[in-house]
Structure 1
Amino acid sequence: MAILLLLALPLLLYSPSLSSASDSLTKGSSLLVENTNDLLISPSGTFIAGFFPVGDNAYCFAIWFDEPFCSNNCTIVWMANRDQPVNGKRSALSLLKSGNLILTDAGRITVWATDTVSESSVYLQLQESGNLVLNNSEGDILWQSFDFPTNTLLLLQPLSKDKQLVSSRSQTNYSSGFYKLLFDNDNVLHLLFASPSITSLYWPDPELLVFEAKRSTYNNSRRAYFDPLGNFSSSDKFFSKSADYGANFQRRLTIDSDGNLRLYSREDKRDAWTVSWQAISQPCIIHGICGPNSVCNYVPSSGRNCSCLRGFKMKDVTDWSLGCEPEIKLCSTNETNFLRLTHVQFYGYDYGFYPNYTLDRCKEVCSQRCDCPGFQFRFSKHGNPNNTPYCFVKFRLLNGYRSPSFEDDFYLKVPITIPLYPAPVEESRLHCAVEITKLDRVYTKIPENRTLKFLLWFASIVGAIEFTDCKPDVEGNYDKTQMKILVGVALKCANEDKDTRPTMRQVVEMLLQYEKHNSESVEFTIE
């Protein structure tokens, strides 16, 4: 046993403060990415906070619902560093003595911080509501995760002015996506599509006036939340009830990667989440879902699919949000035709609006413009006189979708070599990448701790001497298996590459092998 203590002593002197699963983190302590038990658990065990794997050797500090066997597919409700994951080694969440909570990468670079300061004692606690709160000794809240939501609202968590929900990039990519839930300057709660090049509102219906959408601009409090019964309401007079209204369920409100806002519920953590309400019932209405120069088509039996327009091809076969690109530049020739697409509409991006224009005149206007890919043509049933023709000349083709309810037609400009008969709508298919893209990071190697190295070598030498002195066999030899175990432990602990050194748990397991072998050996009497 003396050998065990000698080998473990330097490791205990070197190891940082060890953490285990609890609901709080105190000043001066840390959660380490290597320690799988370094977790914060809410008092009743509904939520867990810790390092969550998001890629190859990439981790984010997150909060998720406790679910049996969820592994890497847990229901994430909040992330601190969703757009800047940290390394799977030497990264830590630390509550400094200054009162600041920081997340550091392997190179000791601060990736995320609360930027808080407190002279009194502070502690970080994961509450049963799923709110991660930094309090001081007086009970004041210095920082809380409810004020910085990612893509999900929890029960009674308010979405207020200057706050927003941002979707994930995809179901497996947790970084920030292109869809947002926020209050606009008109005090109305909106869903927004915001890609690097295009921004547009799509909920409530942008073709409706505010009062037609049953909203109000006369309240500047800008606050939205959902209650335990399943009511979702906001200060602009929007109100909805979940399909399971009144039931005592776990609930979450999430803006998904497809741009829809959904209220999920379940009775128990072992149950699957079910959609009890969603903002948009027709998924093709969501802007950007199929990208430019494409058409979204929804079939109840098979769901949503995307297809490129005639004369276009997918820009990236793995991502429909990038849309399609032209196979032939129309401006390279003056010989063009117009392909009629029935029940198809492209919302927005009109170069001009021309009332009382005939179809031939619309074609003439579009033909004269190199940047005109087509035009929408309709007869207004509310004009004066009735059935007045309207022409909407486009300069970009975005938010295209097909619906039997559309009575107007779209005329697509195509080269004269393309036939004008209707083309079948091909179902969209995505091609998965063969290779995994790894995240590149450069880290500065921490200087070797020579004192620790000396202590480890010293412990191994003392252990070897004690073993040969106190465990002689009948012929004056020593047990080679026991000696091999002890020396192996010492050599691994003294490795110059700190990343390859065993953890405390691994050291204990190796030393227990020595104890097991010792107990099974023949007992000798020391004279």
Structure 2
Amino acid sequence: MYTAQLGWSLTMRNRTREPYPFLLFLLLITVFLIKFATSQIQNDLERGSSLSVEDDSDIITSPDGSFSCGFHNVGANAYWFSIWFTSSTDRTVVWTANRDRPVNGKGSKLLLRQTGILVLTDVDGTVVWESNTTSTEARRAELLDKGNLVLKDIHGTILWESFAHPTDTLLPNQAFTQRNKLIAAIRKESFATGYYSFYFDNNNVMRLFYDGPEISSTYWPNLALDIYLNPRTNYNSSIVAILDDAGRFVASDQFQFSASDVGFGVKRRLTMDYDGNLRLYSLNSSSGSWSVSWAALPQPCNVHGICGRNGICTYTPEPKCSCPPGYEARDPSDWNQGCKPTFNRTCSDSEVKFVEVLHTDYYGFDLNNSNGAISMEACRDLCLGDCRCEAFSYRLTGGGLCYAKRALFNGVQTPTFPGSIFLKLPLSVEASETRVLLGSNAICESSPRTVPFHLPPMDYTGIKRVRWVYLYSFASAIGVIEAFVFASGWWFLFRQNGMPFMVEDGYGVISSQFRRFTYAELKKATKNFKVELGRGGSGVVYKGVLADERVVAVKRLSDMFQGEQEFWAEVSMIGKINHMNLVRMWGFCSEGRDRLLVYEYVEKSSLDKHLFTSNFLGWKERFNVALRTAKGLAYLHHECLEWIIHCDVKPENVLLDCEFEPKIADFGLAKLSQRGGPDIEFTRIRGTKGYMAPEWALNLPITAKVDVYSFGVVILEMVKGIRLSNWAVEDAEQQEAELTRFVRIVKRKIKCGEDSWVEDVIDPRLDGKFSRSQAATMVEIGLSCVEEDRSKRPTMDSVVQLLLECETESEIRIPKSEQAS
């Protein structure tokens, strides 16, 4: 019985113990699963670790799970290292490291090296992207809840961050400064760099900019208004903008807006979209979809370049691109290519007609405008008289306004536009649904759908019709008489007096079209490049005479100018830029590896030949050169559609004509050698030592302020009469730049209140014959232009205004020796 009791006891004890191992087993499994699950949520990347493109789970996630970063695939075997919204259904990307260089789907990886540099390598080990180029103390890469990928040291200090290098998107609490730029993707479902950008311009004002294959232009804010009417301001000490968590955007230029669903708790992004519009998006947390809560341009057709060359943007009701009569789409799947003509252009008045496209206009590229009300026929004649004219715009806003067009970009059709565009087409082109103006006379042909001329309603019956016939006949007779008198006067004045051959030649030059020359033509014109006018880093200049007897300067460019299509696109745009203080380009040649530019010939050579030699300019000529050169640069920086930065302003590039009027040479060569937007980052340093701004050496983004610096050196040299770009020996061992020494001495004299400081710095060769107020203004402008901090330098348009204010103060001081005599 004892044995049985013992057995029963042991059995019961064993039964009571059986659940404990089982529970322990379940606990171990649970801990393992939790550990396994948490191991898949990676918040950082330690030094020496990497993420592989082949492992879909190799992802870094922010602590709150809002953002993820890793390899993102679009298309076949193309991967980008990106950051995206985790909860968005379309995995919306907000930052990309290698947007223009996708990596292979096998073998590519992201690695945090022992040097503290985050690098992205392709399958062959090639470094496609790296966070920084110098070693750091970074210990780990971490993705923050704000969507910012950062490198931190052992103390948690951020050494590098993706927020400082945005691509096309700005996130809440991400500071946007003058160093940043949002650049749109080239197209939907693509990461490659496109044509549209959002940035702070040289006036510290936020802009939207289009830099397409053929043109570059600003299109927002409203170009018809100045800074203050937009309303903006460029008087700000800090150049920064930020989007807060509630959906409010505030910028230092006083631009601000709020999301339509303003408030906290909503995930948002501000994106420069591929179609050129800047939009604020809000995320629906339940569906994972995005909705637009603000847009910079409510009317997307106002975006420049959206339909390419010759294309027209219309609302149906959504924006849609189309081609005008006589044109067809180059590539219907890519409207950036625009429309091409189905005809060959002709300059014959009798072989062309003008076809009206109602309520349509093309922005910019005006050959001229009427500056007042004129008739439609007079506007047509303006276009007929210029072979470059491709169309004319005629508006009825209280009077007829005329704008002749040398190129057709940024076309918009809207019922509210009070005018039409009249396309110049050959007679053979069919256009039955629009009004047609014939080229050689005032006959108009209308179809049933034609909109009539905007004239008051009249009764054309009975005697009134006869009266109008008499009136028209009388007006025609008067016009014929005036034409005869004008022609006779012209013949008498220009043929009989024997003096106007120069005027005739000038008219021939003006009316001649910018064109492409053959190498054989230019070789003959220069007599096999015999007479050399000068040479520089960009090439050698030769004197030549064309077949039409025009004297020209032919620049043979060095080998750095390559790519025939790009060269053609750029040089054709530069050739259309026209300003009295810019050297006119007549044409170019591009054959094989030969690249040549044909310029007008400027008689008196360059400014340095009349400043640093015994044949020096007087004060009036120097001030005039300073003012006109400033005007030319201001045109390039602020008025020219191309927004060209010269990058090599120096006396050698300021040419003087027979009346000593300055003309800036070599503008646009920086654009030819490397394209970019207004904040170009050049990989090759341009410029001449002594005239180069500090930005070049500091590897900072290059803006128009580099030209301002160079102009400052030039204007100070004009006052002093010597090269300030040389080095001055202080003692046997130390040297400093002559410019540095000059600036230091002048600033000290001004600070100490010396009355004679102007007389001390002026060119002694002038023998006191100068205007003291003008000289003081030029020195003060020069000193402000050569500030090392580019934000303290003025813009060229403000320099022009300062010089204009003292232009009339031209009293010349008379030396005491001459006064005594």
TM-score bucket (shorter structure):
0.7 to 0.9
Q: In structure 2, how many angstroms separate the alpha carbons of the residues matched to 1:246 and 1:355?
A: 49
Pairing 1:132–2:170 present:
no
Aligned pair partner of 1:52 in 72, 78, 86: 72
Residues 326, 431 of structure 2: 8 Å contact kept: no
Q: Please show how residues 35-74 of structure 1 align to structure 2 within 5 Å.
A: 35-67=55-87, 70=89, 73-74=90-91
**Could you tell me which residue of structure 1 aligns to residue 667 of structure 2?**
none
1:309–1:220 distance in 2 versus 1, CA, 3 Å:
farther
**Could you tell me which residue of structure 2 aligns to residue 318 of structure 1?**
333
**Could you tell me which residue of structure 1 aligns to residue 186 of structure 2?**
169
Q: In structure 1, how many angstroms separate the alpha carbons of the residues matched to 2:136 and 2:176?
A: 31
**Could you tell me which residue of structure 2 aligns to residue 100 of structure 1?**
117
- Please list every run of at least 4 consecutive aligned residues from structure 1 whose deviation after the TM superposition is greater than 6 angstroms: none
What displacement does 1:154 show?
0.7
Deviations 1:70-95 (A, max 9, x none): 4xx41000000010000001111111
- The one-letter code matched in structure 2 to 1:313 is E
**Could you tell me which residue of structure 1 aligns to residue 164 of structure 2?**
147
Task: Give the structure-2-normalised TM-score.
Answer: 0.47
What displacement does 1:371 show?
2.3
Deviations 1:346-395 (A, max 9, x none): 111111123344322222221233321101122453xxxxx3x3321111
Q: In structure 2, how many angstroms separate the alpha carbons of the residues matched to 1:144 and 1:170?
A: 27
Residues 258, 289 of structure 1: 8 Å contact kept: yes
- The one-letter code matched in structure 1 to 2:273 is D
1:218–1:313 distance in 2 versus 1, CA, 3 Å:
same
Task: Give the structure-1-normalised TM-score.
Answer: 0.72
Aligned pair partner of 2:243 in 222, 226, 229: 226
Pairing 1:330–2:338 present:
no
Aligned residue pair count: 395
**Could you tell me which residue of structure 2 aligns to residue 346 of structure 1?**
362
**Could you tell me which residue of structure 2 aligns to residue 34 of structure 1?**
54
What displacement does 1:295 show?
1.1
What secondary structure sits across from 1:156 in the alignment? coil
1:269–1:125 distance in 2 versus 1, CA, 3 Å:
farther
What secondary structure sits across from 1:87 in the alignment? coil
Q: In structure 2, how many angstroms separate the alpha carbons of the residues matched to 1:281 and 1:338?
A: 32
1:122–1:87 distance in 2 versus 1, CA, 3 Å:
same
| Greater strand fraction, Structure 1 or Structure 2 | 1
- The one-letter code matched in structure 1 to 2:418 is E
What displacement does 1:196 show?
2.8
Residues 161, 221 of structure 1: 8 Å contact kept: no
What displacement does 1:195 show?
1.1
What secondary structure sits across from 1:191 in the alignment? strand
1:131–1:269 distance in 2 versus 1, CA, 3 Å:
farther
**Could you tell me which residue of structure 1 aligns to residue 126 of structure 2?**
109
What displacement does 1:138 show?
2.7
Q: In structure 1, how many angstroms separate the alpha carbons of the residues matched to 2:286 and 2:185?
A: 23
Residues 326, 430 of structure 2: 8 Å contact kept: no
Task: Structure 1 unaligned segments of length 5 or more: list them.
Answer: 1-18, 382-386, 425-527
- The one-letter code matched in structure 1 to 2:94 is V
Deviations 1:428-447 (A, max 9, x none): xxxxxxxxxxxxxxxxxxxx
Cα RMSD over matched residues? 1.8
Aligned pair partner of 1:373 in 378, 390, 396: 390
What displacement does 1:246 show?
1.8
What displacement does 1:117 show?
4.2
- Percent identity at matched positions? 40
What displacement does 1:157 show?
0.7
What displacement does 1:316 show?
1.1
**Could you tell me which residue of structure 2 aligns to residue 406 of structure 1?**
417
- The one-letter code matched in structure 2 to 1:57 is N
Q: Please show how residues 242-257 of structure 1 align to structure 2 within 5 Å.
A: 242-257=259-274
What displacement does 1:217 show?
1.1
What displacement does 1:236 show?
0.6
What displacement does 1:261 show?
0.8
**Could you tell me which residue of structure 1 aligns to residue 404 of structure 2?**
393
Residues 67, 269 of structure 1: 8 Å contact kept: no
Deviations 1:180-222 (A, max 9, x none): 0101011110111111321111111111111111111111522
Q: In structure 1, how many angstroms separate the alpha carbons of the residues matched to 2:348 and 2:123?
A: 57
Q: Please show how residues 190-229 of structure 1 align to structure 2 within 5 Å.
A: 190-229=207-246
Q: In structure 1, how many angstroms separate the alpha carbons of the residues matched to 2:220 and 2:44?
A: 40
- The one-letter code matched in structure 2 to 1:321 is N
Q: In structure 2, how many angstroms separate the alpha carbons of the residues matched to 1:297 and 1:233?
A: 32
Residues 325, 431 of structure 2: 8 Å contact kept: no
What displacement does 1:401 show?
0.5
Residues 66, 269 of structure 1: 8 Å contact kept: no
1:21–1:368 distance in 2 versus 1, CA, 3 Å:
same
- The one-letter code matched in structure 1 to 2:365 is Y
- The one-letter code matched in structure 1 to 2:154 is S
1:86–1:394 distance in 2 versus 1, CA, 3 Å:
same
What secondary structure sits across from 1:187 in the alignment? coil
What secondary structure sits across from 2:382 in the alignment? helix
Pairing 1:25–2:45 present:
yes
Residues 307, 335 of structure 2: 8 Å contact kept: yes
Residues 77, 105 of structure 2: 8 Å contact kept: yes
Q: In structure 2, how many angstroms separate the alpha carbons of the residues matched to 1:24 and 1:117?
A: 21
Q: In structure 2, how many angstroms separate the alpha carbons of the residues matched to 1:198 and 1:84?
A: 25
Q: In structure 1, how many angstroms separate the alpha carbons of the residues matched to 2:211 and 2:124?
A: 33
- The one-letter code matched in structure 1 to 2:166 is P
Pairing 1:281–2:283 present:
no
What displacement does 1:291 show?
1.0
What secondary structure sits across from 1:355 in the alignment? coil
Q: In structure 2, how many angstroms separate the alpha carbons of the residues matched to 1:271 and 1:85?
A: 27
Task: Structure 2 unaligned segments of length 5 or more: list them.
Answer: 1-38, 435-448, 450-821
What displacement does 1:254 show?
0.7
- The one-letter code matched in structure 2 to 1:53 is N
- The one-letter code matched in structure 2 to 1:24 is D
What displacement does 1:247 show?
4.2
- The one-letter code matched in structure 1 to 2:200 is F
1:119–1:313 distance in 2 versus 1, CA, 3 Å:
closer
The worse-fitting range, judged by mean Cα deviation, of 369-378 and 391-400 is 369-378
